Structure 1
Amino acid sequence: MIVSKSKFYTSLFILVLLLQLYVPSFKLNLFFQIGVLLLYFFYEKVAIESRFLNVIAPVLLLFLLGFIGTLFHKYPIYGIIKDIFHFSKPIIGLLIGFLFYKRINNFNLFIKTIVYCGLASAIIHFAVLLFTSNLFSGSVDAIREFGKDNFLELFALFFLLFYSYFQKERLLKSRLQTRIIIIVLLISNILYFSRTMIVVAIVLLLSVYGYTVLTKKTIRFLGLFITVIALFYGYLYSVKIERAKPGIEGFLYKVKIAPAELFKTKIDRENHKDLWDHWRGYEAKRAYALMKQSPSSFVVGTGFGSLVNLKFKAPLTGEKEGMRYISELHNGYMYVFYKTGIIGIIVLFLFFGMLYLSLYNNQKNSKMISVFISGIGLLYVFTTLTITGIYNGRDVIIFILGALLYFERSSDFVKKIEE
């Protein structure tokens, strides 16, 4: 039986996405993804358009910048290799998405693939909740123990909801099937109780309905939106919300402390409640303190192989002894700043800006493509602050972005519905 290249690369793409979500080892995932790319290079004639290279140039430049700081310091080779792998991850993700769908060349099939992958992930999520956690305990922490977030499911939901809105045709033949999948995905997304997913969903909604294009109307709307958020936080800070309470109160406590968790740096390390509630801020504080010891690092970073001294052994990986030195930070901006300096931060924002500006280019094959590329640029601005953005080891959005960048730049891909 001969398998078509379209089915073969679609199957590999699905495997990459699901392994990224469910195999916790960053190394295994990266090696598999590198192997997949090498397989592609072996069988296919590789030709990457200059327009695509222009878009990913900032990510390539960030990778190269990481070597500069390394030249000024002596680090263990293991740490250097580890950072090289982490900074190469978004490059590999973009290449897999772009090259695979350059070969598949079918936009409708890409959207269906994400939708069905998201559905499979939602079913796995429900199974995990039913068999490994107390779903009816009322505790948000118990429900989230085996699933913190899932952006594959979120994109699957948005693609299914808005495909017909943009493309003026149904994605799936059956209306009943469409409704069932939407309900399954919606419930699963809600049950993650993820603050980051909520913000990303809001960003995508604003992008879909055109509120991220700067006009007088959208500026007024965004002003109203910011006012509503400010009033909501005003309410949260005006009432007493218990930290360890189950259910919605525990979730609201996490929402309440979110801003302070990121930016508060005056933290009592001996007060465990204060420390864990503001862990991201503590990581950033320690990284900045170490950068001050070498002023050149503010320009070019400390380089690949550099570690952040936490000044105590933190139980971050489940190991008994804990970790005193860490390579990665939750705050992606501080992570990039620590490794590549202010030059790296400028390059990172250039990348996000190029993605966002996709929305303003009128020479597009599909409004849906440009809207979601722009939305991804904006959501990365936020997720980089909270979960390291493009350098998050579990990030699946980068593969979706790679495919969208191909469809944005191609003029002859298949757009029709597959029956």
Structure 2
Amino acid sequence: MKIKFDKVIINQILFIICVVIPFFNNYELSFSIWSLILIATLRVNYSIDFLKYLSSFVIIFLLAIVTGFFFKHKIYYVIRDITYLLKPITGLVLGYQLFNEKIKKPFKFLVYAGVVIASYHLILVFYAIMIAGATNVSSIRYYAGYFNDYEVYIAVILIFSNKFNLGFSKRKKRFFLFILIISSFFYLARTNFIQFVILILAIKGFLVLNKKSITILTVLIFVISISYTFVYYYNPKRKGKGLDEFLYKIKVAPIEAFSTKVNRHYWKDFHDNYRSYENIRTIEQLSYNNTLFFGEGIGSQVDLKQEVFLGDMYLRKISILHNGYMVVLLKTGILGLVIYFFSIFLFFKKEKKINNSDLSNIKLLFIGTGVFLILSNWVFMGFYNLVDTKSLLIGFLFAYKNNIIKRDKQIHD
């Protein structure tokens, strides 16, 4: 008796595994499993559009390798950096490969992966609050996770389910959306809230500049400014109860990652503006070493001038920073940074007139992604974040887009 395996189901299982595994916060495990699945699903054909986008990350990786030859970095950090800089490449290629032309409703395929990870996250939230006794923002996030961009994408896709041809009943849609919204909220991540707003605006077409979109964006900026003013004068406490701690993080957000001066000897200033301190030290080190243009290559580290408790240990030198731009600058200098900016602005590239609704919606998602990446890279490393999964989604969307174009061309011919 011959057993047949449905490739679509296998791909969906593998996609869910790829989305879930980074959540365990073990990068070695994530990278190993992603690499094995990538090899197992390897293709020989990729769209030109996708290869153009992927090439930016490949060039950055190769630049870092070449530059690294001119320095004597420790082999451990060299190997670790190789895996770090390969992460976005691996994620994008994996997402592309796990798309299958026989998938009837590709966005539905993506939703199930989002619901699985959201359900798992809610179990962790329950454990954090009910069993571990977490009562504030930092303790809940310690047990349940710090952010998840993928869930926010899926929540937005569900909100606009009619646009994405999901085919769920109203009851199932509401149930899935409830799970995703609650789960996304409990990450208590400022960037996820901003991402949600950006993607909503993108799907509504308000990020394509015209008279109407400019008016709406102006009103939104005004409302956000008023809301921030209320938070600022409310003066939430750093270690306050309930949402006070979260509101405190909102209060310090405008300066946390953008300060140009940080007093490392004053704990409050250092703690509140630590991300800025990483950026300052990176620029200072590259400027002092005259390596600002080409960077310091694979295996390079930034000297923080003092030990800082990061994750679960005290470190003085770090090779991966909170800022994706600074990671690229450290490894490849201004040259690599220009290429990295190019990869982001590719999402805004004008295309021929689109007559297919699915292609239009993918384009709107890409525009929203481009806007979000400008911010995400500054505070959360963008695709270079060790637990990032949106690269899988973007790779999948590139493959789906290519499939639609091929199908439409065949029909036209």
Seen in structure 2, the aligned counterparts of structure 1 residues 203 and 25 have a Cα distance that, compared at 3 Å, is same
TM-superposed deviation, 1:90? 0.7
Match of 1:145 in 2: 142
Structure 1 gaps of 5+ residues are: 415-419
Deviation at 1:125, TM superposition (A): 2.2
Aligned to 1:189: 184
Tell me the distance in 2 between the aligned counterparts of 1:252 and 1:359. Answer: 41
* Equivalent in the alignment of 2:12: 10
Cα distance in structure 1, aligned partners of 2:70 and 2:390: 34
Which of residues 110, 114, 123 is equivalent to 2:110? 114
Distance in 2 between residues matched to 1:195 and 1:112, nearest whole Å: 27
Note if 1:32 corresponds to 2:9.
no
**TM value normalised by structure 2:** 0.91
Deviation per CA, 1:318-348: give whole Å up to 9, x if none.
Answer: 13xx111100110111221121111122111
Same amino acid, percent of matched pairs: 29
Aligned to 2:301: 307
1:386 aligns to 2:342 (yes or no): no
In structure 1, how many angstroms separate the alpha carbons of the residues matched to 2:13 and 2:217? 41
Residue aligned with 2:292, SS: helix
Q: Which region of structure 1 is more displaced relative to structure 2, 380-389 or 144-153?
A: 144-153
2:129 to 99, 110, 133: 133
Does the 8 Å CA contact 2:16/2:116 hold for their aligned counterparts? no
SS in 1 for 2:349: helix
Equivalence for 1:53? 51
Residue 312 of structure 1 and its aligned partner are, at CA, apart by: 1.5
> Given residue 267 of structure 1, which amino acid in structure 2 is its aligned partner?
V
- The answer to whether structure 1 residue 298 and structure 2 residue 292 are counterparts is yes
Match of 2:337 among 331, 345, 351: 345
| Structure 2 CA distance for aligned equivalents of residues 12 and 211 of structure 1 | 35
Q: TM-score, normalised by structure 1?
A: 0.90
What displacement does 1:294 show? 2.0
Moved more, 179-188 or 254-263: 179-188
2:389 to 396, 406, 415: 396
Cα shift readout 1:255-274 (whole Å, capped 9, x = no counterpart): 01012110114222232222
In structure 2, what is the Cα distance between the partners aligned to 1:244 and 1:228? 27
Give 1:149's aligned amino acid.
F
Out of 21, 31, 56, which is 1:19 matched to? 21
Which of these residues, 158, 162, 165, is aligned with residue 160 of structure 1? 158
C-alpha spacing 1:398/1:317, structure 2 compared with 1 (3 Å): same
Amino acid at match of 1:376: T
Counterparts of 1:265-414 in structure 2, within 5 Å, are: 265-295=260-290, 297-319=291-313, 322-357=314-349, 362=354, 364=356, 365-410=358-403, 411-412=405-406
**Secondary structure of the structure 2 residue equivalent to 1:324:** strand
8 Å contact kept, 1:242–1:253:
yes
Number of residues paired by the alignment?
402
Report the Cα offset of residue 188 of structure 1: 1.8
Structure 1 residues 129 and 170 mapped into 2: Cα distance closer, same or farther (>3 Å)? Answer: closer
2:241 is the alignment partner of 1:246 = yes
Residue aligning to 1:65? 63
Task: Determine helix, strand or coil for the equivalent of 2:293.
Answer: helix
Kept after mapping to 1: 8 A contact 2:19/2:117:
no
Q: Which residue of 247, 255, 259 maps to 2:254?
A: 259
Mapped pair 1:217 → 2:209: no
1:328 & 1:371 partners in 2: Cα distance? 31
Change (3 A) 1:413 1:95: farther
Shift in CA distance, 128/358, structure 1 to aligned 2, threshold 3 Å: farther
2:115–2:179 Cα contact (<8 Å) kept: yes
User: Structure 1 residue 170: deviation in Å?
Assistant: 4.9
Q: Which runs of 4+ in 1 moved over 6 A?
A: none
Q: Is contact 1:67–1:303 with CA below 8 Å preserved after alignment?
A: yes
